[in-house]
């Protein structure tokens, strides 16, 4: 056993000391490096893969949050007057809210595009000028056009539906109190005589 170990050590020293032999047997160094790399990988196994796995799990939620804020910050058709094309009071309030009260990372204003390029241009200019007036000191508001369809109703229509629902609701009242004597109490009093 000792002779075998001595022969292995001798061959290892021989291969590492001779440069010509070293070049011929480079695969031995690659194999040793591979064993060392595999050993290190096995000992720290889950750690290198945790961050990419967590990022992959969170990505759908990040996309959902971004889409939600895009819809929340979109100025649709009902924020513009149908006749004049100007922003309504609700549209002006929405711009103020986006630029001053929304979380800082979500302060982008999105303007819903229409079929007419002239109307799109007019809306963008109007929103940009009002956004510059409403933006906090030292900030440049971001205004972008979007093709997302904002499914919403004008506030006056929502108010009309809410008032009609409240008007049609019945008056709240408690049921009348009824007192009934149980038959068991009547039977026990007659049996006691």
State the pTM of this model: 0.60
What is the number of structural domains in the chain? 2
Residues 80 and 140 grouped into a single domain: yes
Residues 68 and 29 grouped into a single domain: no
**pLDDT value at residue 47:** 85
Q: What is the dihedral of CA 109, 114, 117, 123, to 10 degrees?
A: -40
**pLDDT value at residue 154:** 76
Residue 81 CB contacts under 8 Å (≥ 6 apart), including other chains: 87, 88
Residues 39 and 67 grouped into a single domain: no
* pLDDT per position as a tens digit, 84-135: 989 999 999 999 999 999 999 999 999 999 999 999 999 999 999 999 999 9
Residues 92 and 121 grouped into a single domain: yes
Domain range enclosing 35: 12-45
Report the first-to-last Cα separation within the chain, whole angstroms: 113
To which H or E segment does residue 182 belong?
none
**pLDDT category of residue 162 using cuts at 50, 70 and 90:** very high
Residues 114 and 79 grouped into a single domain: yes
Report which DSSP code applies to 106.
G
Domain boundary among 146, 167, 185: 146
Residues 136 and 94 grouped into a single domain: yes
Is residue 156 domain-resident?
Answer: no
> What are the strands of the beta sheet with 142-146, ordered from one edge?
74-75, 108-112, 142-146
């Amino acid at each position: 056993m000792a002779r075998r170990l001595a022969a292995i050590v001798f061959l290892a020293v021989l291969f590492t000391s001779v440069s010509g032999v070293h070049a011929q047997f480079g695969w031995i160094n690659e194999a040793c490096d591979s064993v060392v790399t595999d050993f290190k990988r096995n000992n720290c196994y889950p750690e290198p893969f945790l961050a990419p796995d967590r990022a992959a799990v969170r990505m759908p939620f990040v996309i959902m949050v971004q889409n939600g804020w895009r819809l929340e910050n979109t100025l649709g058709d009902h924020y513009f007057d149908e006749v004049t094309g100007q922003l309504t009071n609700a549209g002006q309030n929405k711009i103020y809210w986006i630029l001053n009260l929304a979380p800082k990372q979500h302060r982008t204003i999105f303007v819903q595009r229409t079929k007419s390029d002239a109307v799109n241009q007019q809306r963008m200019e109007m929103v940009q000028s009002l956004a510059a007036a409403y933006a906090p000191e030292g900030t440049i508001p971001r205004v972008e056009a979007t093709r997302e369809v904002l499914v919403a109703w004008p506030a006056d229509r929502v108010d009309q539906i809410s008032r009609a629902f409240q008007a049609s609701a019945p008056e709240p009242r408690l049921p009348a109190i009824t007192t009934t004597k149980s038959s068991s109490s009547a039977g026990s009093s007659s049996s006691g005589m």
